[in-house]
Amino acid sequence: MSDGTPADLFFDAAIGLLQRVREEEGEAIGAAGNLLADTVAAGGRLFAFGAGHSSLAAQDVVYRAGGLALMNLLAVPGVVGVDVTPATLGSALERVEGLASAVLDTSPVRAGDALVIISLSGRNALPVEMALNARALGVKVIGVTSVAYAAQTTSRHSSGTFLKDHCDIVLDSKIAVGDAELTLDTIPAPFAPASTVVTTALMQAVMATAAAALADRGIEPPLLRSGNVDGGHEWNGRVMREYGDRIFYRR
């Protein structure tokens, strides 16, 4: 590790990754945002899924001030975040084949909807199967993943494929295998992961693109406002009433 405090070096690494994503994934971000806008305009619903820490970026775009009210979390019990005990159970469930099928079969997801699947490695059975089965249902799939894993690791799904292989659009987070940006001679393992910073930024860039794309078509984007600003609750109430049949986090 070169000169500078660990904090400075982490910020440098995170900013560098964000610059790479901005420069190299701009076309894919635009395509993903327009796909979401197409879905909204056609009467479809929006869903986001992530397991473990990847779920943080999915949760960040659901019921969010400044975000699209139509984005719903597709939750899989036991794998959303680290709230399950023991936390290692969530990692184990990601490797179980058949779980994604059961979730999709009992979810409101249907043909004509769009599903964003976030998985850093894209190698576990759950995200691979989720993407594969969703597309079979007629759902458009956007994958947010690190493509490097497909070149440097092996799939844990029986098909031998990765999330990226079953998506209509792939957003590459550029995160290195292992998700740790810093090293020190005095610390025996790499540390300071940046995947949440980058993946969350990717997701918000896509959502911003979708909102602008809707406006360009003369459609008012169904955006939420903060409940902590005057008139926010009233604004959100109107949006919820207008789009209630496509919002599932209130039920």
Contact 170, 143 (CB under 8 A): yes
CA distances (Å), origin 238, targets 65, 66, 149, 205, 233: 14, 15, 43, 25, 9
Distance in angstroms (rounded) separating the CA atoms of residues 120 and 123: 8
Tens of pLDDT, residue by residue, the chain (251 residues): 557 899 999 999 999 999 999 999 999 999 999 999 999 999 999 999 998 899 999 999 999 999 999 999 998 888 877 777 888 888 888 888 889 999 999 999 999 999 999 999 999 999 999 999 999 999 999 999 999 999 999 999 999 999 999 999 999 999 999 999 999 999 999 999 999 999 999 999 999 999 999 999 999 999 999 999 999 999 999 999 999 999 999 87
DSSP 8-state secondary structure symbol assigned to residue 164: G
Supply φ then ψ for residue 117, to 5 degrees: -110, 120
Name the one residue in this structure whose structure tokens are 């986001």.
48
pLDDT tens by residue, 32-80: 999 999 999 999 999 999 988 999 999 999 999 999 999 999 988 888 7
The greatest distance separating any two alpha carbons of the chain, rounded to the nearest whole angstrom, comes to 58
Q: What is the pTM of this model?
A: 0.95
Using H for helix, E for strand and C for coil, what is the string for 34-57?
A: HHHHHHHHCCCCEEEEECECHHHH
Would you state the pLDDT for residue 85?
A: 83
Of residues 138, 109, 112, 108, the one with CA closest to residue 39? 112
